[in-house]
Amino acid sequence: MNLASAGEIYKALCNGLLQAFFGKPEIVEKIALAVLAGGHLLIEDVPGVGKTTAAKALARLISRDGKPLAFRRIQFTPDLLPYDITGTDVFHPDTGQFEFIPGPVFAPIVLGDEINRATPKVQSALLEVMEEGQVSLGGVTRQVDPFFFVVATQNPLETEGVYPLPEAQLDRFFMKIQVGYPATEREKAVWLGDPAHRAIETLAPVVDADTILTLRKEFNQVHVAPSLLDLIAQVMDRTRTHKGIALGLSPRSGVHLIKALRCAAMVRGRDYVQPEDFRWLAKDVLEHRLMYQESVPERKNLFSQILTEELARHEV
């Protein structure tokens, strides 16, 4: 297990993203972590804070055969159709044959922009490919790129013209983060010259896609203490039995959390997970999967309260 290499790759991705993305450094760190871990990322915030810029910059920083990875963008709108995402079979009358025209999801990095502006039926077109890395159409199953990584952006539900993502869709996202507004001085620089646009054009790859794929296979060697597993199990159980939560955490969420914790330990030069990794990532990896009861007034703080109580109860 090459801990030094993992840390170097992580730092290089973070530094590259910071050249073009004017958000907070801690947000950049989680974006880089998600791509190294191989988990799809959901970014929620108001329009115009750099969500799309971050996804574009990421594609420029990862290479294959010496060139930046292919990047496709899907602009989700109410009139989008499922085959606009997955692809479709086109009939050629002259040959009497069907030809499959692959959709954007066959690219290594896919940006789903404003994903919650499309109807739930269209959003669900991503379910199979995000979980299994394949597209089934017309009785034929086709594998997508082995690197396949989705960065989806969504507007807050308070925004006009959006649809809530289905529970099954949310559960397939490895992590959900909020960008927030940039620091005042960095925002002033954006006003004066849109430096992020120019920076993206000058970004050069810092790591090969195959190197990241190899790195992902090594995460399972990172040790997770039984006491930490007990803490995670208790948090999961609390969400399933709490009267204020309509839908608790699934087993998939536990798989994603362990993957995130192992990746965080590895990029920090450790072959074991520490409680600080859990404190750093648990909320971003888990909370978006929960469905709260409408009658609960303090929904926004409920999961944070559960985490605080369980951390105080367990010695890890």
Reported as a single tens digit per residue, the pLDDT across 63-116 is 999 898 988 999 999 999 999 999 999 989 998 898 999 999 999 999 998 898
Q: Is the Cβ–Cβ distance between 150 and 123 less than 8 Å?
A: no
Q: What is the pLDDT along the chain (316 residues), one digit of tens a residue?
A: 666 789 999 999 999 998 887 767 889 999 999 999 999 999 987 777 777 788 888 889 999 998 989 889 999 999 999 999 999 999 899 988 989 999 999 999 999 988 989 988 888 889 899 999 999 988 899 999 999 999 998 887 666 678 888 888 999 999 999 887 777 877 787 777 665 566 787 889 999 999 999 999 999 899 999 999 999 999 999 999 999 999 999 999 999 999 999 999 999 999 999 999 999 999 999 999 999 988 777 777 899 999 999 999 887 6
Indicate the CATH number of 219-313 among 3.10.100.10, 1.10.8.80, 2.60.410.10, 1.20.1200.10: 1.10.8.80
Amino acid identity of residue 139, one-letter, is G
- Check residue 93 and report its DSSP letter: T
pLDDT digits (tens, 9 = 90+) for 227-258: 999 999 999 999 999 999 999 999 999 999 99
Three-state SS at 37: helix
Residues of the chain with CATH 1.10.8.80: 219-313
Of the candidates 302, 292, 296, 21, which has an alpha carbon nearest to the alpha carbon of residue 157?
Answer: 292
CATH 3.40.50.300 location in the chain: 3-214
270 near 277, Cβ under 8 Å?
no
Q: What topology is assigned to 3-214 in CATH?
A: Rossmann fold (3.40.50)
| DSSP secondary structure string for all residues of 4-32 | HHHHHHHHHHHHHHHHH--S-HHHHHHHH
Instruction: Give the span between the Cα atoms of 73 and 57, in whole angstroms.
Output: 13
Q: Which tokens in the block code for residue 226? A: 């039984």
